[in-house]
């Protein structure tokens, strides 16, 4: 009976973790091979992004322009410029940054989008 309880708890925790992962905020980066601004982002931000608060909150997933979207993802329009960063919450677009003119610009706009998302969630809860 104790083994059944342990297995049951493991399954419940696994399902809860899967649901939390599905509801996670994610940052999609659309890029093209040879895009100099994509390479600049990788050199200035990409090398440390996963260690930042923003990166922990909205992990980046890189997609080549024209590739199919991941399952369960809905965005407003197909990106035209590279890089284009699309902030997703529960798989739906909640913000977008087109282009990359520098690290300060990127983090400033990303933080604004994350703060707007917090305000929206606080207002709906």
> pLDDT of 87-117, one tens digit each?
999 999 999 999 998 999 999 999 999 999 9
Nearest CA to 100 out of 77, 76, 84, 79 is that of: 84
The full set of domains in the chain, from first to last, is 24-124 (3.40.30.10)
Position 121 confidence tier, pLDDT thresholds 50, 70, 90: confident
- What's residue 55's pLDDT? 97
Q: How far apart are CA 73 and CA 125, in angstroms?
A: 23
Higher per-residue confidence, 81 vs 2: 81
Phi, psi dihedrals of residue 61, rounded to the nearest 5°:
-125, 120
Can you give the pTM of this predicted structure?
Answer: 0.80
Sign of CA dihedral 30, 86, 110, 97: positive
């Amino acid at each position: 009976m104790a083994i059944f309880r342990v297995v049951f708890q493991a399954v419940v925790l696994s399902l809860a973790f899967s649901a939390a992962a599905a509801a996670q905020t994610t940052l999609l980066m659309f890029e093209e091979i040879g895009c100099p601004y994509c390479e600049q982002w990788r050199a200035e931000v990409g090398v440390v992004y996963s260690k930042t608060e923003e990166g922990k909150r909205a992990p980046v997933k890189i997609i080549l322009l024209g590739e199919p979207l991941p399952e369960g993802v809905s965005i407003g329009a197909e990106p035209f410029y590279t890089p284009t960063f699309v902030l997703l919450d529960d798989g739906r677009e909640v913000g977008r940054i087109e282009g990359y003119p520098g690290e300060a610009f990127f983090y400033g706009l990303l933080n604004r989008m994350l703060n707007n998302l917090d305000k929206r969630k606080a207002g709906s809860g």
